[in-house]
Amino acid sequence: MKPVIVWFRQDLRLADNLALSAACASGQPLVCLFILDDDTPGEWASGAASRWWLHHSLKALGESIEAVGGTLVLRRGPAASVLSQVICETGARKIYWNRCYEPYAIERDCALKAALQGRNIEVHSFLGNLLVEPWRLKTREGAPFRVFTPFWKALRQLAIADPLPVPALPRFAPPIASERLESWALVPRAPDWAAAWPSFWDPGEAGARTRLTEFLDESLHAYTQTRDWPGRAGTSRLSAHLHFGEISPRQVWHALRLTDDVSEKFLSELAWREFSHHLLFHHPQLPEAPLDPRFARFAWTRDDAQLALWQHGQTGIPIVDAGMRQLWTTGWMHNRVRMIAASFLVKHMLIDWRVGAKWFWDTLVDADLANNSASWQWIAGCGADAAPYFRIFNPVLQGQRFDPDGRYVRQFVPEISGLPDRFLHSPWQAPAHVLDAANIRLGTTYPHPLVDLTAGRERALRAFDRLKLSRAA
C-alpha cells in the first residue's frame, strides 16, 4: 500500500490529534512529517523564544514516534515545495493535517489543497488547535462576535466533543531522509531557559500533561483568588503547550469536570483564547491595523532609547521592570504583569502597541499571533471589547495590590529588594535614609522613573481625547 502523509504543524502530540487518528484509521503506512516553513509567515515567522520551545517540542514528539517504531521526518523550506518533494519520494496519495488559522496559513493551505487535488491527491483537514471552528459561532444577526461576554455564553452552550485517545498506530512507511533537528539551530545561545529554569518548562506532550495535572491538583482550587498574583504559582502556565498543540484545548476543557465557579473562571480564560482566534479569523488585519479605525490616525511617539529601557526592565517602575526581566530570563510573563507593562508602554510612554507586540512576539515562548495581537489591541483601547482609552493602569497601585509583600519584584529586581514593602513599588518616594539603608542610589543602582506617572497619564488622556473617542468606545 502507498503511505499517507501526516503533516504535523501546531499539533505536536499523539493524543486528541484528529488528523493523526484519521490517517491511522486508513490502515495505510504513515509518513510523519514536520516542515519548518519560515517563508510563508513572512514577518510573523516564529520569534527566538518560540523557536527554542519548538526545538524541544519536536525533540519530544520525535522520541514519542520512535518509541512506537516510527520516525518524525524533518524538512525545512516552503511548505508547497517540500510537500511535493516528499510526495515524489514516498508515492503518497493522501495527506492529513489539522487546520491552522493565521491569515498566511489559511492562504497557504487553500492554495495547497487546490494544487494537490488537481494532482489527484486527497487532502483531509480537520479542526485545529481550537474548541470550535472560528466560523461556527455567530451573533443572532449572523455576524462575527466583537464582544467577549456574548461569545462566551454562545460557546458555553455548545457540546465540546470528547478528546480522542492516542490511536493504534499502523506500521510506518520505510524511512526517508530527514534533516537533523540540531542543524536548524533553533536554540539561541542566550538566554538558556532550560538550564536556568529546569523546573519551570518541560516542552512536549508529556510535559503538558504533567503541567495540567499539577495545576488541577495544586492551583485550581484557589485560581480565582491567586491568578492575578505574580508572586504566587496561581496560573496554569499551559499557554505554550496549547500554542504548540502539545495538549489540546479539548483535553483541558474536559479535564475540568467540576461545575463550581473556580472551574468556570478558568474555562472562561480558555474562551478568551478562543475569542482571540475568532477575531483573527474574521479580521486578518488584526496584527497590523487597529480594529477601531479612529486609532489609525493616532500620533504615536517614536523613542528608541526609551523603548530599549522598557524592553530590558530599566524604566524605574519596579512592577514593570520585574515583568520585563521575567520575560527575558524565563521567556514568559505573568498575565497581570503583561497588562501592566503593556499599558505603561502604550499609555504612559505613548509608544505604538504594535512595537510592544513585536517585542513580545520575539521573547515569549507562548507567542501566539491571535492572542498577542488581540491582547495588545485590548490594552491600547483599539480592539474588540477593548479596555476604554481612559483606563490607564497605575503600576504603583497595581504592584501594591497584586504583589503586596513584594515577592515578585524582589525576585526579578533584586537591587531594590532591601526596601520595605511600603516603598518597594515606588522607590522615588522613599526618604533618603530609607534608600541609604537599602544601599540604593536612584539614578545609579536603580533608575529614576522613566515617566512621571501623573504627568504621563494626563498626557495620554489628552492625546487619546484628541481622537474624539467617546467613553463608550
CB 137 within 8 A of CB 151: yes
Q: What is the pLDDT of residue 198?
A: 62
Whether 272 is a known active-site residue: answer yes
The span from the CA of 413 to the CA of 433, in Å, is 20
Active-site residue identified among 7, 44, 376, 378: 376
Whether 353 is a known active-site residue: answer yes
User: Is the model's pLDDT at 259 over the cut of 60?
Assistant: no
Q: How confident is the model over 12-26, as a mean pLDDT?
A: 97
Q: What is the pLDDT of residue 264?
A: 86
Q: How confident is the model over 100-128, as a mean pLDDT?
A: 96
Q: How confident is the model over 323-347, as a mean pLDDT?
A: 96
How does DSSP classify residue 68? T
Strand, helix or coil at 19? helix
Whether 120 is a known active-site residue: answer no
Q: How confident is the model over 286-301, as a mean pLDDT?
A: 93
How does DSSP classify residue 446? B
Q: Is 118 left (phi over 0), alpha (psi -120 to 50) or beta?
A: alpha
Q: What is the pLDDT of residue 389?
A: 72
Active-site residue identified among 184, 300, 328, 359: 300
219-253 pLDDT, tens digit each: 998 998 899 999 999 999 999 999 999 999 999 99
Active-site residue identified among 335, 359, 415, 428: 335
Q: What is the pLDDT of residue 190?
A: 66
141-188 pLDDT, tens digit each: 999 999 999 999 999 999 999 999 999 988 999 999 999 999 999 987
Active-site residue identified among 184, 197, 272, 359: 272
Q: What is the pLDDT of residue 426?
A: 98
Whether 269 is a known active-site residue: answer yes
Active-site residue identified among 269, 328, 359, 394: 269
Indicate the pTM of the whole model: 0.95
pLDDT-derived band at 343 (thresholds 50, 70, 90) equals very high
The span from the CA of 391 to the CA of 464, in Å, is 11
Torsion of CA 330, 331, 332, 337, to 10 degrees: 80
User: Is the model's pLDDT at 82 over the cut of 60?
Assistant: yes
Whether 335 is a known active-site residue: answer yes
pLDDT-derived band at 263 (thresholds 50, 70, 90) equals confident
Q: What is the pLDDT of residue 407?
A: 97
* In the chain, % of residues over pLDDT 70: 95
Phi, psi dihedrals of residue 32, rounded to the nearest 5°: -95, 120
40-69 pLDDT, tens digit each: 999 999 999 999 999 999 999 999 999 999
Q: What is the pLDDT of residue 390?
A: 77
Q: What is the pLDDT of residue 470?
A: 44
Whether 135 is a known active-site residue: answer no
Average pLDDT over the chain, rounded to an integer:
93
Domains in the chain and their CATH numbers? 4-128 (3.40.50.620), 130-161+205-282 (1.25.40.80), 293-465 (1.10.579.10)
